[in-house]
Amino acid sequence: DRSIKIAPSILSADFANFGAEIRAIEAQGADWVHVDVMDGHFVPNLTFGPPAVKAFRPHVKTVMDVHLMIAPVDAYIDAYADAGADILTAHVEAGPHPHRTLQAIRGAGMKAGIALNPGTPAQAVAHLLDLADVVCVMTVNPGFGGQSFIDMTAKIAELRAMIGDSPVHIQIDGGVDPVTAPKVVAAGADVLVAGSAVFRGGSVDKPGVYGGNIAAI
C-alpha cells in the first residue's frame, strides 16, 4: 500500500498526557503513532523504555510504530514485543549485525524497520531489504524533535529505485512539514513522521491522498 501515511511522533506531545495526545492525533487522521525511544548513548537524549511503551499500547488503535535509537538493540527486542509494538525499527548503525536484528524482530512477531542516519548511504541497507518492512530515512540527526530538515532526496530516490514496487515502506523522519513533505513524497517516500509540525501549531498534508491535514493539537 503506497498511499501516503502520516505517523505523528509523540516525542513532541505533552509527556504528562500521552493517552489524550494519542487519541487526539488518531481522531485527526493519524495512520501510525510513532514512538521515539532514546537511550542517552546511541543518541544524546533519553525518552522512555518498554514499560512506558506498554502503557501507550491500549490508547493506540492504529499502528504502534516504535523507533529505537538505542545501542545495543537485540537484548531489548522481546521487551518491545511484549510492550505491544506493531513495528520495531532499529538503526543500521546500532551494531555490527543488523541482519540478525531484523530476523529477531520478525521472529518476535513484529514488522521490522531499519533506519539510516543522514550520513549513512542507501547501500548500507541494500542487503537487508528482504528482511525489512520499513526503511526509515532520517532527515535530521536523531535525538531531538524540532530540528531543521536535511535534504535526503537523492537517497530516498535511490532507495525507491532499489525497492521498486515491493511492499517495503519508505519512511521519512525529521523536519517533515507542509513544505518538505511534498518533496520527500515526490522522491518516493510513503510514510511521513512529523513531530513538531503536528503538535506545535502546524499541519502536515498527505499529498494526493488525504485532502485535509492533521490540524494543530
- Residues that are catalytic: 36, 173
Q: Which stretch binds ligand DX5 (CB under 6 A): 19-27, 76-84, 101-109, 187-195?
A: 187-195
Phi, psi angles (nearest 5°) of residue 57: -50, -50
How far is residue 147 CA from its own chain's centroid?
Answer: 15
Q: Which stretch binds Zn ion (CB under 5 A): 49-57, 151-159, 165-173, 180-188?
A: 165-173
Residue 36 in the binding site for Zn ion (CB under 5 A): yes
**Cβ pair 202, 6 in contact under 8 A:** no
Q: In whole angstroms, how close is the CB of 165 to ligand DX5 at the nearest point?
A: 27
Residue 147 binds which entry of ligand DX5, Zn ion, none, CB below 5-8 Å type-dependent: ligand DX5
Residue 169 in the binding site for Zn ion (CB under 5 A): no
Rounded to 10°, the helix 180-187/153-163 angle is 30
Q: Site mask, ligand DX5, residues 28-67, x = CB under 6 A?
A: ------x-x------------------------------x
Q: Which stretch binds Zn ion (CB under 5 A): 19-27, 33-41, 70-78, 144-152?
A: 33-41
Q: In whole angstroms, how close is the CB of 192 to Zn ion at the nearest point?
A: 11
Range 15-40 burial, b when 16+ CB lie within 10 A, else e: eeebeebbebbbebbbbbbbbbbbbe
Which of 170, 175, 177 is CA-nearest to residue 204? 177
Partners of 213 in the β-ladder = 205
Residue 194 in the binding site for ligand DX5 (CB under 6 A): yes
Q: In whole angstroms, how close is the CB of 18 to ligand DX5 at the nearest point?
A: 14
Nearer to ligand DX5, 105 or 193 (CB): 193
Q: Checking DSSP bridges between strand 134-138 and strand 205-206, what pairing results, if any?
A: unpaired
The residue at minimum Cβ distance from Zn ion is 67
Q: Record the cell numbers describing residue 21, joined without a space.
A: 495526545
Residue 173 in the binding site for ligand DX5 (CB under 6 A): yes
For 187, the enclosing helix (H) or strand (E) is helix 180-187
For 88, the enclosing helix (H) or strand (E) is strand 87-91
N residues, the chain: 217
Q: Which of residues 45-104 bind Zn ion (CB under 5 A)?
A: 67
Nearer to ligand DX5, 38 or 131 (CB): 38
Partners of 173 in the β-ladder = 138, 193
Contacting ligand DX5 (CB under 6 A), which of 98, 113, 143, 188?
143
Residue 213 in the binding site for ligand DX5 (CB under 6 A): no
